[in-house]
Amino acid sequence: MKENIVSLDMIPCGKRAKVKELTSVGNLRRRMLDLGLIIGTIVESLRKSPSGDPTAYEIRGAVIALRSEEASKIMVELI
């Protein structure tokens, strides 16, 4: 099972994934939690910005753009 777990920024556009772990700490972690990103939340990767970063994700009905630095601190499992 472990092999299926990757960081959110590795998810290709159009794919959905389930949050397994947040590795960020402090304020960033809080921001992510505020957006409703908890373990079990389903996230869909929507599109990359013209220069490849940030990426827009659908999180609980809202579209949120995250930089790869943030997304790499969210471990997910592809579904």
Partner 1 sequence: MGLTAQSTGIGALKEMLDIKMNPVDDIVVALAGNPNTGKSTVFNSLTGLNQHTGNWTGKTVTTAQGNYRFKDKNFILVDLPGTYSLLSNSVEEEIARDFICFGNPGATVVVTDATCLERNLNLVLQILEITDKVVVCVNLMDEARRKKIQIDLNKLSELLGVPVVGTNARSGDGLEELMDAVYKVSANEISTEPVIIQYNSHTEEILQDIERKIKRYADDRINSRWVSLKLIDGEKTILNSINKYLGLDLAVQLNEEFENLRDQIVSSIVKLAESISSQVVYTQNQKHNELDRRIDDILTSKIFGIPAMIALLGVIFWITIEGANIPSDAIANVLFGIEDKLTKLFTIYNLPKWLHGVLVLGMYRTLAWVVSVMLPPMAIFFPLFTFLEDLGYLPRVAFNLDNFFKKACAHGKQALTMCMGFGCNAAGVIGCRIIDSPRERLIAVITNFFVPCNGRFPTLIAISTIFIAGTSSGKIQSVIAALTITIVIVLGVLMTLLASKILSKTVLKGIPSSFALELPPYRKPQIGRIIVRSIFDRTIFVLGRAVMVAAPAGLFIWIMANMNIKGISLLDHSAGFLEPFANLLGMDGYILMAFILGLPANEIVMPIIIMSYMAAGSMLELDNLEALRNLLISHGWTWLTAVNVMLFCLMHFPCATTLLTIRKETKSWKWTLVSFLVPTAAGITATFVVTQIVRLLGLV
Binding site for partner 1 (CB under 8 A): 22, 25, 27-36, 38-39, 41, 46-54, 56, 59-67, 69-70
| Identity of the amino acid at 54 | P
Q: Which is nearer to partner 1, 3 or 28 (CB)?
A: 28
CB of 6 to partner 1, least distance (A): 20
Q: Which is nearer to partner 1, 3 or 52 (CB)?
A: 52
Place of tokens 């499992």: 77
Place of tokens 């471990």: 75
Residue 55: how many CB atoms within 10 A of its CB? 21
Residue 17: how many CB atoms within 10 A of its CB? 25
CB of 3 to partner 1, least distance (A): 25
